[in-house]
Protein backbone atom coordinates (compact mmCIF):
# COMPACT_ATOMS: atom_id res chain seq x y z
CA UNK A 1 0.00 0.00 0.00
CA UNK A 2 2.59 2.47 1.11
CA UNK A 3 4.91 1.55 -1.77
CA UNK A 4 2.15 2.23 -4.27
CA UNK A 5 1.56 5.59 -2.67
CA UNK A 6 5.24 6.50 -2.70
CA UNK A 7 5.53 5.35 -6.29
CA UNK A 8 2.64 7.60 -7.26
CA UNK A 9 4.26 10.46 -5.38
CA UNK A 10 7.58 9.80 -7.11
CA UNK A 11 5.86 9.69 -10.44
CA UNK A 12 4.12 13.00 -9.93
CA UNK A 13 7.34 14.54 -8.68
CA UNK A 14 9.07 13.29 -11.80
CA UNK A 15 6.34 14.71 -13.98
CA UNK A 16 6.54 18.00 -12.13
CA UNK A 17 10.30 18.07 -12.60
CA UNK A 18 9.99 17.27 -16.32
CA UNK A 19 7.45 20.06 -16.78
CA UNK A 20 9.67 22.49 -14.94
CA UNK A 21 12.65 21.50 -17.09
CA UNK A 22 10.57 21.96 -20.20
CA UNK A 23 9.59 25.44 -19.06
CA UNK A 24 13.23 26.27 -18.35
CA UNK A 25 14.32 25.09 -21.79
CA UNK A 26 11.58 27.22 -23.36
CA UNK A 27 12.86 30.27 -21.51
CA UNK A 28 16.38 29.59 -22.74
CA UNK A 29 15.27 28.68 -26.25
CA UNK A 30 15.49 32.14 -27.88
CA UNK A 31 19.03 32.60 -26.60
CA UNK A 32 20.08 29.11 -27.66
CA UNK A 33 18.55 29.60 -31.11
CA UNK A 34 20.47 32.85 -31.56
CA UNK A 35 23.72 31.23 -30.43
CA UNK A 36 23.11 28.40 -32.86
CA UNK A 37 22.47 30.73 -35.77
CA UNK A 38 25.14 33.33 -35.10
CA UNK A 39 27.93 31.32 -33.47
CA UNK A 40 27.77 27.54 -33.37
CA UNK A 41 26.43 26.65 -36.82
CA UNK A 42 28.69 29.13 -38.67
CA UNK A 43 31.71 27.74 -36.81
CA UNK A 44 30.84 24.19 -37.78
CA UNK A 45 30.08 25.31 -41.33
CA UNK A 46 33.44 27.04 -41.60
CA UNK A 47 35.16 23.76 -40.82
CA UNK A 48 32.95 21.81 -43.25
CA UNK A 49 33.23 24.37 -46.06
CA UNK A 50 37.01 24.31 -45.85
CA UNK A 51 37.00 20.73 -47.21
CA UNK A 52 34.73 21.53 -50.14
CA UNK A 53 34.75 23.48 -53.34
CA UNK A 54 32.19 26.26 -53.28
CA UNK A 55 30.36 27.95 -56.07
CA UNK A 56 28.87 31.20 -54.88
CA UNK A 57 27.23 30.23 -51.62
CA UNK A 58 26.81 26.50 -52.35
CA UNK A 59 29.28 23.74 -51.63
CA UNK A 60 29.75 21.59 -54.74
CA UNK A 61 32.26 18.79 -54.20
CA UNK A 62 34.39 17.37 -51.45
CA UNK A 63 38.04 18.18 -52.13
CA UNK A 64 39.72 17.12 -48.91
CA UNK A 65 42.67 19.30 -48.02
CA UNK A 66 42.85 20.98 -51.43
CA UNK A 67 41.91 24.45 -50.14
CA UNK A 68 44.57 24.22 -47.47
CA UNK A 69 47.30 23.09 -49.82
CA UNK A 70 46.26 25.69 -52.40
CA UNK A 71 46.54 28.51 -49.89
CA UNK A 72 49.85 27.26 -48.53
CA UNK A 73 51.53 26.40 -51.82
CA UNK A 74 49.95 28.56 -54.50
CA UNK A 75 48.55 31.70 -52.92
CA UNK A 76 51.28 34.35 -53.10
CA UNK A 77 49.86 36.28 -50.13
CA UNK A 78 49.65 33.40 -47.66
CA UNK A 79 53.20 33.23 -46.31
CA UNK A 80 53.61 37.00 -46.11
CA UNK A 81 50.35 37.03 -44.14
CA UNK A 82 51.59 34.30 -41.79
CA UNK A 83 54.86 36.14 -41.25
CA UNK A 84 53.06 39.43 -40.66
CA UNK A 85 50.53 38.01 -38.22
CA UNK A 86 53.44 36.80 -36.11
CA UNK A 87 55.22 40.12 -36.58
CA UNK A 88 52.14 42.01 -35.39
CA UNK A 89 51.95 39.77 -32.36
CA UNK A 90 55.67 40.12 -31.66
CA UNK A 91 55.71 43.88 -32.04
CA UNK A 92 52.58 44.21 -29.91
CA UNK A 93 54.37 42.35 -27.13
CA UNK A 94 57.43 44.59 -27.50
CA UNK A 95 55.52 47.86 -27.70
CA UNK A 96 52.15 47.17 -26.18
CA UNK A 97 52.65 44.66 -23.39
CA UNK A 98 54.70 46.66 -20.92
CA UNK A 99 53.04 50.03 -21.57
CA UNK A 100 49.81 49.34 -19.65
CA UNK A 101 51.70 47.68 -16.82
CA UNK A 102 54.07 50.63 -16.46
CA UNK A 103 51.21 53.12 -16.78
CA UNK A 104 49.23 51.38 -14.06
CA UNK A 105 52.23 51.28 -11.71
CA UNK A 106 52.84 54.98 -12.32
CA UNK A 107 49.21 56.02 -11.90
CA UNK A 108 49.02 53.92 -8.76
CA UNK A 109 51.82 55.98 -7.19
CA UNK A 110 50.25 59.38 -7.84
CA UNK A 111 49.03 61.19 -4.77
CA UNK A 112 46.36 63.17 -6.57
CA UNK A 113 44.68 63.18 -9.96
CA UNK A 114 44.33 59.41 -10.14
CA UNK A 115 40.84 59.56 -11.58
CA UNK A 116 41.91 62.17 -14.14
CA UNK A 117 44.71 59.93 -15.42
CA UNK A 118 42.46 56.87 -15.39
CA UNK A 119 39.81 58.66 -17.41
CA UNK A 120 42.28 60.10 -19.89
CA UNK A 121 44.04 56.83 -20.67
CA UNK A 122 40.71 55.03 -21.00
CA UNK A 123 39.04 57.53 -23.34
CA UNK A 124 40.63 56.15 -26.57
CA UNK A 125 39.01 52.79 -25.75
CA UNK A 126 35.57 54.28 -26.28
CA UNK A 127 36.46 55.34 -29.81
CA UNK A 128 35.00 53.21 -32.60
CA UNK A 129 37.85 51.18 -34.14
CA UNK A 130 37.17 52.54 -37.60
CA UNK A 131 37.20 56.17 -36.47
CA UNK A 132 40.46 55.57 -34.62
CA UNK A 133 42.08 54.10 -37.69
CA UNK A 134 40.97 56.91 -40.00
CA UNK A 135 42.06 59.51 -37.47
CA UNK A 136 45.55 58.03 -37.18
CA UNK A 137 45.79 57.63 -40.91
CA UNK A 138 45.68 61.40 -41.09
CA UNK A 139 47.97 61.89 -38.11
CA UNK A 140 50.58 59.69 -39.78
CA UNK A 141 50.17 61.28 -43.19
CA UNK A 142 53.38 61.20 -45.16
CA UNK A 143 53.87 64.87 -46.00
CA UNK A 144 54.56 67.73 -43.65
CA UNK A 145 50.87 68.39 -42.92
CA UNK A 146 50.57 65.07 -41.10
CA UNK A 147 50.45 66.00 -37.44
CA UNK A 148 53.16 63.57 -36.36
CA UNK A 149 55.48 64.86 -39.09
CA UNK A 150 54.59 68.43 -38.14
CA UNK A 151 55.66 67.77 -34.54
CA UNK A 152 58.86 66.10 -35.76
CA UNK A 153 59.42 69.08 -38.06
CA UNK A 154 59.53 71.33 -35.01
CA UNK A 155 62.42 69.18 -33.77
CA UNK A 156 64.09 69.56 -37.15
CA UNK A 157 63.37 66.03 -38.35
CA UNK A 158 62.40 65.52 -42.00
CA UNK A 159 58.92 64.11 -42.80
CA UNK A 160 58.68 60.29 -42.71
CA UNK A 161 56.38 58.20 -44.93
CA UNK A 162 55.14 56.11 -42.05
CA UNK A 163 52.67 53.81 -43.73
CA UNK A 164 54.37 53.25 -47.07
CA UNK A 165 57.63 52.12 -45.54
CA UNK A 166 57.77 48.33 -45.39
CA UNK A 167 60.01 48.37 -42.33
CA UNK A 168 57.92 50.85 -40.36
CA UNK A 169 54.38 49.92 -41.24
CA UNK A 170 53.83 47.13 -38.71
CA UNK A 171 55.36 48.94 -35.73
CA UNK A 172 53.34 52.05 -36.61
CA UNK A 173 50.11 50.03 -36.74
CA UNK A 174 51.00 48.47 -33.39
CA UNK A 175 51.53 51.95 -31.92
CA UNK A 176 48.02 52.89 -33.06
CA UNK A 177 46.56 49.72 -31.54
CA UNK A 178 48.39 50.42 -28.30
CA UNK A 179 47.05 53.98 -28.19
CA UNK A 180 43.54 52.63 -28.51
CA UNK A 181 43.79 49.54 -26.34
CA UNK A 182 46.24 50.25 -23.53
CA UNK A 183 43.75 52.13 -21.33
CA UNK A 184 41.49 49.17 -20.60
CA UNK A 185 44.46 46.95 -19.73
CA UNK A 186 45.88 49.71 -17.55
CA UNK A 187 42.69 49.78 -15.48
CA UNK A 188 42.84 46.01 -15.07
CA UNK A 189 46.41 46.25 -13.77
CA UNK A 190 45.38 49.12 -11.48
CA UNK A 191 42.73 46.92 -9.90
CA UNK A 192 45.37 44.23 -9.45
CA UNK A 193 47.75 46.70 -7.80
CA UNK A 194 45.03 47.92 -5.45
CA UNK A 195 44.36 44.40 -4.28
CA UNK A 196 47.94 43.84 -3.06
CA UNK A 197 47.81 43.60 0.70
CA UNK A 198 49.41 46.52 2.48
CA UNK A 199 50.86 44.24 5.16
CA UNK A 200 53.30 42.69 2.70
CA UNK A 201 54.74 46.11 1.94
CA UNK A 202 54.85 47.06 5.63
CA UNK A 203 56.68 43.85 6.51
CA UNK A 204 59.22 44.37 3.73
CA UNK A 205 59.81 47.97 4.78
CA UNK A 206 60.47 46.88 8.37
CA UNK A 207 63.03 44.47 6.91
CA UNK A 208 64.65 47.48 5.25
CA UNK A 209 63.54 46.90 1.66
CA UNK A 210 64.21 49.88 -0.60
CA UNK A 211 61.85 51.15 -3.28
CA UNK A 212 63.30 49.06 -6.11
CA UNK A 213 63.37 45.88 -4.10
CA UNK A 214 59.74 46.46 -3.07
CA UNK A 215 58.83 46.68 -6.75
CA UNK A 216 60.97 43.69 -7.68
CA UNK A 217 60.07 41.37 -4.84
CA UNK A 218 56.48 42.40 -4.05
CA UNK A 219 54.70 44.37 -6.77
CA UNK A 220 55.89 42.41 -9.79
CA UNK A 221 55.39 38.93 -8.29
CA UNK A 222 51.94 39.97 -7.08
CA UNK A 223 50.75 40.98 -10.54
CA UNK A 224 52.60 38.14 -12.29
CA UNK A 225 49.53 35.94 -12.74
CA UNK A 226 47.46 38.81 -14.04
CA UNK A 227 50.22 39.75 -16.47
CA UNK A 228 50.44 36.18 -17.73
CA UNK A 229 46.72 36.08 -18.45
CA UNK A 230 46.79 39.44 -20.19
CA UNK A 231 49.84 38.30 -22.18
CA UNK A 232 47.99 35.37 -23.72
CA UNK A 233 44.82 37.40 -24.28
CA UNK A 234 46.86 40.00 -26.11
CA UNK A 235 48.46 37.38 -28.35
CA UNK A 236 45.05 35.94 -29.19
CA UNK A 237 43.59 39.37 -29.93
CA UNK A 238 46.46 40.70 -32.03
CA UNK A 239 46.87 37.52 -34.06
CA UNK A 240 43.39 38.20 -35.47
CA UNK A 241 44.23 41.74 -36.58
CA UNK A 242 42.08 42.78 -39.55
CA UNK A 243 40.71 46.32 -39.56
CA UNK A 244 43.98 48.20 -39.18
CA UNK A 245 45.86 46.89 -42.23
CA UNK A 246 42.64 46.72 -44.25
CA UNK A 247 41.87 50.41 -43.81
CA UNK A 248 45.32 51.91 -43.30
CA UNK A 249 47.36 50.21 -45.98
CA UNK A 250 45.19 47.64 -47.75
CA UNK A 251 47.94 45.20 -46.79
CA UNK A 252 50.68 47.13 -48.54
CA UNK A 253 53.26 48.26 -49.33
CA UNK A 254 53.91 45.11 -51.34
CA UNK A 255 52.19 42.81 -48.79
CA UNK A 256 54.32 44.18 -45.96
CA UNK A 257 51.31 44.53 -43.67
CA UNK A 258 48.78 41.99 -44.95
CA UNK A 259 47.39 39.79 -42.15
CA UNK A 260 45.82 36.33 -42.12
CA UNK A 261 42.34 37.56 -41.26
CA UNK A 262 42.66 40.06 -44.08
CA UNK A 263 43.22 37.11 -46.44
CA UNK A 264 40.01 35.60 -45.10
CA UNK A 265 38.19 38.84 -45.87
CA UNK A 266 39.69 39.10 -49.35
CA UNK A 267 38.98 35.49 -50.29
CA UNK A 268 35.42 35.60 -49.00
CA UNK A 269 34.15 39.07 -49.79
CA UNK A 270 36.32 40.27 -52.63
CA UNK A 271 36.96 37.03 -54.52
CA UNK A 272 33.82 35.21 -53.36
CA UNK A 273 35.71 32.00 -52.57
CA UNK A 274 34.16 31.04 -49.23
CA UNK A 275 35.91 27.67 -49.13
CA UNK A 276 39.43 29.14 -49.29
CA UNK A 277 38.42 31.84 -46.83
CA UNK A 278 37.19 29.17 -44.42
CA UNK A 279 40.37 27.14 -44.75
CA UNK A 280 42.44 30.16 -43.66
CA UNK A 281 40.13 30.97 -40.76
CA UNK A 282 40.25 27.35 -39.61
CA UNK A 283 44.06 27.51 -39.65
CA UNK A 284 43.94 30.72 -37.60
CA UNK A 285 41.57 29.09 -35.10
CA UNK A 286 43.82 26.04 -34.78
CA UNK A 287 46.80 28.28 -34.00
CA UNK A 288 44.77 30.22 -31.41
CA UNK A 289 43.34 27.11 -29.76
CA UNK A 290 46.82 25.57 -29.61
CA UNK A 291 48.19 28.68 -27.96
CA UNK A 292 45.35 28.70 -25.44
CA UNK A 293 45.89 25.03 -24.59
CA UNK A 294 49.65 25.44 -24.26
CA UNK A 295 49.04 28.41 -22.02
CA UNK A 296 46.59 26.46 -19.85
CA UNK A 297 49.06 23.58 -19.59
CA UNK A 298 51.91 25.88 -18.61
CA UNK A 299 49.90 27.76 -16.02
CA UNK A 300 48.67 24.51 -14.48
CA UNK A 301 52.25 23.32 -14.10
CA UNK A 302 53.29 26.58 -12.46
CA UNK A 303 50.55 26.28 -9.87
CA UNK A 304 51.55 22.77 -8.81
Partner 1 sequence: MKTGRRSNELGVLRPYDFEKPSVKLGYALLIALLILVLLISLMPFVWVVLAGFKDQREFIRGVRTVMADGSVRYLPRLLPEVFDLSLYVKTWNDTRFYLYYVNSLIVVAGSAASALVFNGLLAYGLSQLRPRGHRLVLGLVMASLMLPATTSMAPLFVNINRIGLSGSFWPLILGVGASAFYVVLLKNFFDNMPASLLESARLDGCSDLSLFFRIVFPLSMPINMVVLIYAINGAWSDFLLPYLVLNNAKWASGATKETVMVRLFSFQSSNAARDIDVIRAIVFSIIPPILLFILFQRRITDNVVSAGIKG
Shortest approach of partner 1 to residue 53 CB, angstroms?
14
Q: Which is closer to partner 1, CB of 227 or CB of 236?
A: 236
Q: By CB under 8 A, what part of segment 146-205 binds partner 1?
A: 147, 150, 153, 179, 183-185, 187-188, 191, 193-196, 198, 201, 205
Residue count at the site for partner 1 (CB under 8 A)? 104
CA-based nearest residue to 94, from 165, 169, 174, 148 = 174
Q: By CB under 8 A, what part of segment 81-140 binds partner 1?
A: 103, 105-110, 112-131, 134-136, 138-139
Q: Which is closer to partner 1, CB of 157 or CB of 205?
A: 205
Task: Name the segment binding partner 1 (CB under 8 A); options: 7-15, 29-37, 82-90, 160-168.
Answer: 29-37
Shortest approach of partner 1 to residue 125 CB, angstroms?
8
Give 166-190 as a 3 state SS string: CCCHHHHHHHHHHHHHHHHHHHHHH
Q: By CB under 8 A, what part of segment 268-287 binds partner 1?
A: 268-269, 274, 277-278, 281-282, 284-285
Q: By CB under 8 A, what part of segment 207-236 binds partner 1?
A: 211, 214-215, 218-219, 229, 233-234, 236
Shortest approach of partner 1 to residue 136 CB, angstroms?
7
Alpha helices in the chain (DSSP H): 2-35, 41-49, 66-73, 78-91, 98-109, 114-126, 129-139, 147-154, 169-194, 198-206, 211-214, 220-222, 224-239, 243-248, 260-265, 274-303
- DSSP label of 265: H
Distance CA 109, CA 26 (A): 52
Burial of 236 (0-12, 13-18, 19+ CB in 10 A): middle
Q: By CB under 8 A, what part of segment 52-71 binds partner 1?
A: 57
Shortest approach of partner 1 to residue 1 CB, angstroms?
31
Q: Which is closer to partner 1, CB of 66 or CB of 295?
A: 295
Bond preceding residue 128 cis, omega within 30 of 0:
no
Distance CA 189, CA 200 (A): 18
Q: Which is closer to partner 1, CB of 3 or CB of 209?
A: 209
Amino acid sequence: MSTIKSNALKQSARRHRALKDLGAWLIMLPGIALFAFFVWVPLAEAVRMSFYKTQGMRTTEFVGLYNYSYMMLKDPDFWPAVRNSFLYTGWSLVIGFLVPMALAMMIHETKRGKSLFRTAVYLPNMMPALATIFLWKYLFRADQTGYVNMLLGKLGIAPVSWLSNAQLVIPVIVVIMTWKGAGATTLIYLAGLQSISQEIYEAAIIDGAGIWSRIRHITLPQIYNLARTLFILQIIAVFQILYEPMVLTGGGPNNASVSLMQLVFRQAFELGDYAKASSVSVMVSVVLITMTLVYNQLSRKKEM
